[in-house]
Structure 1
Amino acid sequence: MNDNTLPENPLFNQGELPDFSAIQAEHVVPAVREAIRVGREKLKTLEQLQNPTWQAFVLPLRDISRRLDRIWGTVGHLLGVKNSDALRAAHEEVQPEVVEFQLSIGQNPALFKSWQALQAAGPKEITTAARKRIVEAAIRDARLSGVALEGEKQKRFNEIQRDLAALATKFSNAVLDATKAFQIVLTKPEEIAGLPQSWLAGAAHAAQAKGHAGATAENGPWLVTLDYPSYYPVLQHAQNRALREQVYRASVTRASSEKLNNWPVIDEILRLRHENAQILGFANYAQVSLAAKMAPETKNVREMIVNLGKVAKPQAQNEFVRLTEYAKQKGHEDSLQLWDIAFYSERRREELYSFTDEELRPYFPLPKVLSGMFDLAEKLFTVKIAAAPTQPKVWHRDVQYFDVYDTTAKKIAGFFLDPYARSGEKRGGAWMDVCRQREATEESLVLPVAYLVCNGTPPVGEKPSLMTFTEVETLFHEFGHGLQHMLTTVDEYEASGISNVEWDAVELPSQFMENWVYERSVIDQISGHVETGEPLPQPLFEKIIAAKNYMAGSILLRQLYFSLLDLELHEVHGGTLVGVAKDGGKPTEVHGGTLVGVATEGGKPTEVHGETVRDVQRRIAAEYTVIPPLPEDAFLCSFSHIFAGGYAAGYYSYKWAEVLSADAFAAFEEAGLNDDGAIRELGRRYRETVLARGGSEHPLEVYRAFRGRDATIDALLRHNGLIQAA
């Protein structure tokens, strides 16, 4: 059977781009199994290779990986944007086979020896920096995949990998189902008091979709869901405190009920990750995670969190005191609860800076924001972006495809944009993912293609989507990821775009782009009133700037809480206490286990017992929150980043990379943001380093090539208005 089998299967034979209109759930299993069958046949030849060369070894191995990457990547993408029971079932059926096949490559001794032989051959075969990094990463990843394991250890390791993949899918599906299951239908005027007109229109539109044919923004009924554009405005604006409490409790207990309960899934994931680490010879899973990251050790990550926490915690405490005083002035008699914070924060922000999100929305219709964002990319990176003249077949009518051109009008990349929330079939959050990877072959140059996915406010009626300022920032963030993927100049599949970029550096380009939405010249490009076309007025812009660092200490502390909790769960939770404890009974060395007791009598623990995940959460929350979480708080049960995404023991990456992104933007500030010539020159250098080099060099070296030095935390603190506290 040749590679052209399954001619009618649009997953197996995708062509230049997938035909999403043709892909059905029944295509998944045969396409995946055929890709694996073909891959196994080709692996047999590679295993017999006596004198591995780049041409004879790496390129055929790449071909095997690319085929499965495209099929499985498309399935994973659809699982995120067009979820269905049939697609889930197909995914779950073959997921163990995919994991097993990938492990068979990572753990193949013959392939490992070929990688080592290539490394030993040196410049004769490894002719570029990109190839050197690819070989180093392949050897490292093979070791992390258990290539050195034998017998029962390897068998158990493989079982764990299959189980972890299935558990991640189970976790994600439970979050989606719990989100889908929660609905409140509001019918009375007192229930919707304070909620803005745009929310009422969206909630009535959602109610229509659920069978309330006569729903209107004016008369209802209005549907509340746990999709972010629905529930968060309720927390911000609803005067009905009981409604805010109901929605808040639902959001933080999502996927923790008896029917959809991710607590045991979390326990099993953490237990298996810890066992996985120990089989590989690491003390804990955090060490496994950092083995392929920019941060040298967990102590470096903790040091960053602690240093930022020293600034953020007192600032957050002061912000809470001021918010409490404000709420009392407004007649709030008892103590502030967690469902009151967003409401009074928004009221105080409106008073301090005299504007609301709803005032801003009409100035940010999505088409205008896109046009201005593309103009900025042209100015900084000399690229042109336009809607493709012929649109490919997409998975939903709201999706649009764009082409990216260089200065000679040559097409160099493309991307799909899926901008709006869709309850029930699309997971929450926003992300960039890979559809096609840049790669030079003997026949052609494969151009990079990205998926840019957001969960913004959908359009209602004849009006386009009117974006909140936060949604504008999110779009710029994902576009930054897309730029690194699309503007790479690396021709090697395994190191182009975001491939082989250390995870804690991958947020640099995304967070860098967010800074531009606070520049007047960019605001002029991305804003235009939906009715008059007028750009955002200067007084409103000045209020946005003044409000930029409102509650900055609280926001930073929240991210540090998530980061340290993630690290602690993977570094400490899951085993036994080791080391010597002193300094008031606090352990000075803890690894591979659970922090559980007080040590006395010569430093030996006198009490050791299991610490649950919730215990760890409460311990970290005591230090890194101002208001403790509710006793039933289960936000971890929907923390998909670390339990169903790629951020396990790596959530700190957002802050690690934000240090880099703030320092990078400071270079543009130093050059003079009004100096177009200097900005274009600096943009060229940024493109040629941070965006172009992908995973062909270590990100520290790439950053130094752009900035001329290492990054410091000064710009991050300054941009957050915290530099004086430092």
Structure 2
Amino acid sequence: MPLTSNPLMVPADAPVDYAAVQPAHIVPAISSFIATARAAVERAADPALEPAWDNLVEPVEDAGEQLWRAWSIAGHLNAVVNTAELREAYNECLPLVTEFSTWLGLHTGLYAQYQRLRDGAGFRKLSATRQRIVELALRDFRLSGVQLQGADRERYAQISEQEAQASQKFSENVLDATDQWSLHIEDEARLAGVPEDVRQAAHKAARDDGLAGWKLSLKMPCYLPVMQHARDRTLRETMYRAYATLASEQSGDPALDNSPLIEQLLQLRVQQAELLGYADYAELKLQTRMAESSVQVLDFLRELAARARPYAERDLVELREFAAQNLGLQTLEMWDVPYASERLREERYAYSEETLKPYFTEPRVLQGLCGMIETLFGVRVLPCPMPLWHPDAHALRIETPQGELLGHLLMDLYARTGKQSGAWVDSERSRRRAGSRLRTPIAYLTCNFSAPQDGKPALLTHDDVITLFHESGHALHTLLSEVDDPAAAAFASVEWDAIELPSQFMENFCWEWSVLRSLSAHVQTGEPLPRALYDKLLAARNFQSGMQTVRQIEFSLFDMLIHGRGAALDIRGVLEVLDQVRKEVAVLMPPSWQRFPHNFSHLFAGGYGAGYYSYKWAEVLSADAYALFEEHAGRDADGTRNTLDPETGRRFRKEILAVGGSRPAAESFRAFRGRDPSMEALLRHNGMGSTGL
């Protein structure tokens, strides 16, 4: 197949025809781009070349951007429309890309040129952003092992390739285990309590397989409502057991057991840290974070746990009492917790998630979200026809009020077979200015909501709405960037423990009446969310917030403790650490056969190893940032607080979103807030303020 007809081979500033991309295009495009990038690196690394920004950094960036864009596209397609052919092409390229990336990080000639650039007289004439890019590049060279010699250098390259392969296999095992599991139900009585739209989707899934009855899956749009609403306790236990043992030795398929991959990844990470001279993998990863040490992170998590655990214990006592007195559940098992919690919420606040869903149709929520973004950040958001990878996907154009293009957002919101679970944002390309030409960013926003049924629009839970707002914050971090050099873009250089600031910040607006009113229209009547129902939702905002907080702290402590040691754990040791963490901070103790780590893709396939604490760390930042909007809130005609303050929104855009990674995140936060962050706003938002229980 000629490269000239390959849709991945277009220039970096041209759009990609996703509908035309086939698995056969991936290997030739990636191979060609790697060859081009290698040649450019060798030219830039020539010691006869006097290094300057224009003949060192720019040429390497030029050659690399097409490679990383094509690889981002391949990875995205592999995650959202996975097929055997696509997986084969992606996996064929993975060692090629890993080897190139490792070779680049170990390139002593290029490293020497960056050192000469930094030490030369021209360095001081560069902008502050470009000086930071050079300094970060030198840091990353050192963290990539450029100073290693001989056998250590070869071993580092092997580790990089093996870790990439193991992470990819971990992800594939989770996807395959999820897709391969199903439960065929023929007795409708077993589905008592399950919402009608979930039943309809399960009935369609069975019919598509040529079966009568209903087919249940472990995809979130099916799994979570069944766990929350199914009255059949045995059904809940069956579903919980399947989900809690995914991709483990408990699930029945040895080929999909992630135990050896967890052991391998931990071993490789210990070896990587040792080669680079760090005590452990956590110390290595913290070189690129806001947090200064493992001790600081652990102290932060344990302080938060100490503040939250009394609330979590109260939550659990209330839930157990309610379950025993009202549901006949004298022993509260893990598969009872979502069900009992939803019943308690219904009794206490006289509403359930199912009461809210008819008001949150996907088209209306998107319309309201776009309107809020327009108000807050002074932009326009418009539909934009574009050939994409699946009929469910669609594009939005972000532009200035004068019509100048700022970027594109490519959205894919529904769960389906062959699509990785979860929600995430990634970048197809970053903003870049070359002379008078500006290349605008393109971002992916992916979720796994329930698809439309019977010609009706998709219905979202309030949690779905929060997820959508969260991911939109990530997308805005790249789409509203004013950084002209991609190496200082948000996803390239913002510290990992600050990258969640914009996303968690956006979640706060999902609790504001002025916003929710614009997001809602009943699927049948078109009526907005009633104020009385909103008041119930708001009253329930901190329902079980103590239990939710310690659960996140449990995950974060587990992550830091398995990565914060100089010797790798075997799978038994991993599970023992998890058990110890639960005894320290958790209030709910899962059964001994639960295998949560085997499905923890954030740690073992998603880049969050020794970094899961970032969610809570950044939540402190985001809550404190949102507090400034609360301080400048206005009032609507009915007297309701309105935090959609355009002036504060423009300030957030200018000091947080627009600057990306062009300066340290702590400086950006101080520029916006006027001081260092405080934990108090987070505790207050979670109903755990200084007034106590």
TM-score (norm 1): 0.92
How far off its partner does 1:222 sit?
1.6
Q: Verify the 8 A CA contact 1:119 1:126 in the aligned structure 2.
A: no
Residue 106, structure 1, aligned to residue 105, structure 2: yes
Corresponding residue for 2:597?
Answer: 636
Corresponding residue for 2:435?
Answer: 442
Write the deviation string for residues 457-479 of structure 1: whole angstroms up to 9, x where unpaired. Answer: 11001111011100000000000
Q: Distance in 2 between matches of 1:133 and 1:106?
A: 18
Secondary structure of residue in 2 paired with 1:419: strand
What does 1:351-500 align with in structure 2 at a 5 Å threshold? 351-388=347-384, 391-423=385-417, 425-442=418-435, 444-500=437-493
Q: Distance in 2 between matches of 1:677 and 1:337?
A: 41
Q: Distance in 1 between matches of 2:672 and 2:635?
A: 20
Q: Verify the 8 A CA contact 2:168 2:605 in the aligned structure 1.
A: yes
Q: Which moved more, 1:128-137 or 1:674-683?
A: 674-683
In structure 2, relative to structure 1, the CA distance for the partners of 1:573 and 1:44 (3 Å cut) is closer
What does 1:232-631 align with in structure 2 at a 5 Å threshold? 232-257=224-249, 258-388=254-384, 391-423=385-417, 425-442=418-435, 444-572=437-565, 574-575=567-568, 612-631=573-592
Q: Distance in 2 between matches of 1:346 and 1:56?
A: 61
Corresponding residue for 1:720?
Answer: 686
Q: Verify the 8 A CA contact 2:323 2:330 in the aligned structure 1.
A: no
How far off its partner does 1:207 sit?
2.2
Q: Verify the 8 A CA contact 1:357 1:469 in the aligned structure 2.
A: yes
Q: Distance in 2 between matches of 1:161 and 1:704?
A: 36
Write the deviation string for residues 652-679 of structure 1: whole angstroms up to 9, x where unpaired. Answer: 0000000000000000001124387981
How far off its partner does 1:25 sit?
1.1
In structure 2, relative to structure 1, the CA distance for the partners of 1:115 and 1:319 (3 Å cut) is same
Q: Distance in 2 between matches of 1:206 and 1:174?
A: 22
Write the deviation string for residues 165-224 of structure 1: whole angstroms up to 9, x where unpaired. Answer: 000000000000000111001111221011111211222222233334xx6xxxxx1211
Q: Distance in 2 between matches of 1:371 and 1:678?
A: 16
Question: Aligned AA for 1:240?
Answer: D
Residue 10, structure 1, aligned to residue 21, structure 2: no
Q: Distance in 2 between matches of 1:419 and 1:611?
A: 37
Corresponding residue for 1:25?
Answer: 23
Q: Distance in 1 between matches of 2:393 and 2:301?
A: 39
Q: Which moved more, 1:181-190 or 1:623-632?
A: 623-632
In structure 2, relative to structure 1, the CA distance for the partners of 1:126 and 1:470 (3 Å cut) is farther
Question: Aligned AA for 1:631?
Answer: S
Q: Which moved more, 1:394-403 or 1:102-111?
A: 102-111
Corresponding residue for 2:627?
Answer: 666
Question: Aligned AA for 1:165?
Answer: A
How far off its partner does 1:331 sit?
4.2
Q: Distance in 1 between matches of 2:187 and 2:549?
A: 38
Write the deviation string for residues 519-546 of structure 1: whole angstroms up to 9, x where unpaired. Answer: 1110111111122221100010000000
Q: Distance in 1 between matches of 2:333 and 2:312?
A: 16
Q: Distance in 1 between matches of 2:109 and 2:74?
A: 30
Q: Verify the 8 A CA contact 1:573 1:611 in the aligned structure 2.
A: no
Of the three residues 590, 613, 622, the one matched with 1:652 is 613
Q: Distance in 2 between matches of 1:524 and 1:392?
A: 30
Corresponding residue for 1:151?
Answer: 150
Question: Aligned AA for 2:532?
Answer: P
In structure 2, relative to structure 1, the CA distance for the partners of 1:611 and 1:187 (3 Å cut) is closer
Write the deviation string for residues 415-469 of structure 1: whole angstroms up to 9, x where unpaired. Answer: 101011112x100000010012100013610001110101011100111101110
Corresponding residue for 2:118?
Answer: 119
Q: Verify the 8 A CA contact 1:184 1:224 in the aligned structure 2.
A: yes
Corresponding residue for 1:599?
Answer: none
Corresponding residue for 2:674?
Answer: 708
How far off its partner does 1:574 sit?
2.7
Q: Distance in 1 between matches of 2:602 and 2:138?
A: 27
Q: Distance in 2 between matches of 1:501 and 1:354?
A: 43
Secondary structure of residue in 2 paired with 1:696: coil
How far off its partner does 1:315 sit?
1.3
Q: Verify the 8 A CA contact 1:167 1:269 in the aligned structure 2.
A: yes
Corresponding residue for 2:639?
Answer: none
Q: Distance in 2 between matches of 1:677 and 1:328?
A: 41
After TM superposition, what 4+ stretches of structure 1 lie above 4 angstroms from structure 2?
A: 122-126, 675-678
Secondary structure of residue in 2 paired with 1:386: strand
Q: Which moved more, 1:713-722 or 1:630-639?
A: 630-639
Q: Distance in 1 between matches of 2:607 and 2:681?
A: 27
Q: Verify the 8 A CA contact 1:689 1:703 in the aligned structure 2.
A: yes
Corresponding residue for 1:168?
Answer: 167
Q: Verify the 8 A CA contact 2:424 2:447 in the aligned structure 1.
A: yes
How far off its partner does 1:123 sit?
5.7
Secondary structure of residue in 1 paired with 2:427: strand
Question: Aligned AA for 1:8?
Answer: S
Residue-pair matches, total: 681
How far off its partner does 1:44 sit?
2.1
Q: Distance in 1 between matches of 2:259 and 2:583?
A: 21
How far off its partner does 1:499 sit?
2.2
TM-score (norm 2): 0.96
In structure 2, relative to structure 1, the CA distance for the partners of 1:677 and 1:254 (3 Å cut) is closer
Q: Distance in 1 between matches of 2:183 and 2:629?
A: 47
Secondary structure of residue in 2 paired with 1:718: helix
Residue 231, structure 1, aligned to residue 245, structure 2: no
Q: Distance in 1 between matches of 2:483 and 2:263?
A: 40
In structure 2, relative to structure 1, the CA distance for the partners of 1:259 and 1:102 (3 Å cut) is closer
Write the deviation string for residues 586-623 of structure 1: whole angstroms up to 9, x where unpaired. Answer: xxxxxxxx7xxxxxxxxxxxxxx996111111111211
Structure 2: runs of 5 or more not aligned: 637-641
What does 1:665-704 align with in structure 2 at a 5 Å threshold? 665-674=626-635, 679-704=645-670
Structure with greater proportional helix content:
2
Corresponding residue for 1:34?
Answer: 32
Identical columns (%): 41
Structure 1: runs of 5 or more not aligned: 216-220, 576-593, 595-608
How far off its partner does 1:64 sit?
2.0
Q: Distance in 1 between matches of 2:582 and 2:543?
A: 22
How far off its partner does 1:43 sit?
2.1
Q: Verify the 8 A CA contact 1:380 1:684 in the aligned structure 2.
A: yes
How far off its partner does 1:496 sit?
2.3
Q: Distance in 1 between matches of 2:123 and 2:75?
A: 38
In structure 2, relative to structure 1, the CA distance for the partners of 1:327 and 1:162 (3 Å cut) is same
Q: Verify the 8 A CA contact 2:629 2:643 in the aligned structure 1.
A: no
